[in-house]
Structure 1
């Protein structure tokens, strides 16, 4: 049985994509916008040994499977085409596949994961989130190449969900609007002090300093991010107000900040550490100070917070854990914060990821030369897959605003929000 025949057995002869294989077989729609090409029988080995998205990702990242065309459309097509295949059908087809000596030999060989897989991503949960391990996890994802991220993220160098003020807003417009929305929710004013934990390349720190005259300190576990940010701060003449340190947030010694922003860090903290995380940030604030938490969430808390064997954990965000928005809010409450506002930016993250994906495609050759094809492939499939996740409500993005009351219970908040949400 040819691989094309296997494909037809799975999805039928009228699939709106083109399928080709190293054995010369073809199926689907010739000339379709999306084409899947199996370059090696080892693609089948990855799929058999790691069923589901992990096997597909390993086959793609390792180059045993090529995808031509828009990756988001390709993943959506895969979901639609293969979603209804039952276990019995898969078993029947696998029995036919194993009749081919070449495929049988490939399947019998256990392949090493592609080198882009984090080697420490499968340790027991109780070993996660020490300072040294968190540093390794952050470095795995963020210390790839500042040049690579400049191509993917664009001039803002903001690697978190943007907020689109209108349908025709550009990615850069939306990232500026996001930083300004955070600033307004925090009620930043000249002379205030801001602590931005998990500050990335310093986008929020520089926005607060430039647009609001705030003295802003950002901390990140990524050495490359900190170096890039400090240079950008100096180049923009903001050194008297803005600073980024290569530092674990737990090692910040300063206190009495007027505001704290956490944009995209909570996902890396771990469920068991959330109480101490929010308590630590609460302790950094003056009475009346506000904290804005911006984090990826999941729609509920019914499933495990992470999939240890999943593609995202092994290749993209080692040790990442997502909680439902209610759980995040509860932990903030229990740490002492009074919750004053919350909103879900789920659709905005899907748009943001599409923008990053377009940027990567436009700089594909340069990106491959900079970080290698395997790493570029990881980012391509991860970002497209996350678009699907946000669009279909597998994951969400919540901003939650809390305030530290004074001893008399004063919040120093206006009667109605003063920002445009």
Structure 2
């Protein structure tokens, strides 16, 4: 079996377009089997960069055997010069190709991907309703008042969820987005009181629901420790993205002051990126994103490393339907699975319609599909309405010594 071409798509997320621009690929073989992958740069700035990098890397895999997943991964990592310490854009592109190759392999062997990475360990995957400050299913935010925060949590609970995640610092009492000047360093008494009012009311009205507190790295060590007082006080499940991932000593400071388990990972890439977090004990809940950590191949290795350091795993999921499917495959196969993230955006029609199947949790639980490969693929609608699309059919060697530069003509 040989890879014959790759299609790269920048998808149209409709009403979610301002906040989501999924970048996906479809890799084809000479035996008529294809696989889909996703680059985990659907939000923020960088989608077109991931699209371009994915196009470049796709030239490398034309003519290759799609079953040789590790060999292709290592070539993208080592033979491209920028694969080493490549960053979010590069690793997202690598991830998309890796996921597509695993999809092909599963389809060819007529087994789900989880069977290729150790087999099923978890029959049902407990989920949490993620990013409720933006809304949930039919209730649209953003929210500001304490009463609204209670109502949105109760709404998620009515659908069977026993765990939720909220960013308590992103919006003030009037649902106005806060600035970094307001959330970093010495936060105001007003913001501190607003966060406490919300947490206290949720605890009072919603009982012992598991509450994950998300800061999106919009706090720094000083303000994260201060907010951490409340995270501990209200017995939260985990404390996520407390400060940027680049200075590990700051994470040690936070961990020394806050007893709630720390969650990190969506902006940490490959095994090498996780080493200092593991060695310094500054992560307890690993949130690797299958679509930018290095794909299924690399994420499974990160999960295995996490197991050695007694860390739980919750794959970060905030993209399109391919991202969700890839995450379910990994989480089904690992012993240290903790909880699955079901993002607010994934409950919206404009995201769900991009996949052939609309997988949603039932009573707060997911079951991984048993279809061969990912168990998901891009819908015809997603392909037909793509904002941007290129096809790669020619092979170009990688490496700084390569003289073949046809991809740039």
Is this a same-fold pair by TM over 0.5?
no
Larger radius of gyration: 1
TM-score, scaled relative to structure 1: 0.32
TM-score, scaled relative to structure 2: 0.33
- Structure with the greater relative contact order (CA < 8 A, sep ≥ 6): 1 or 2? 2
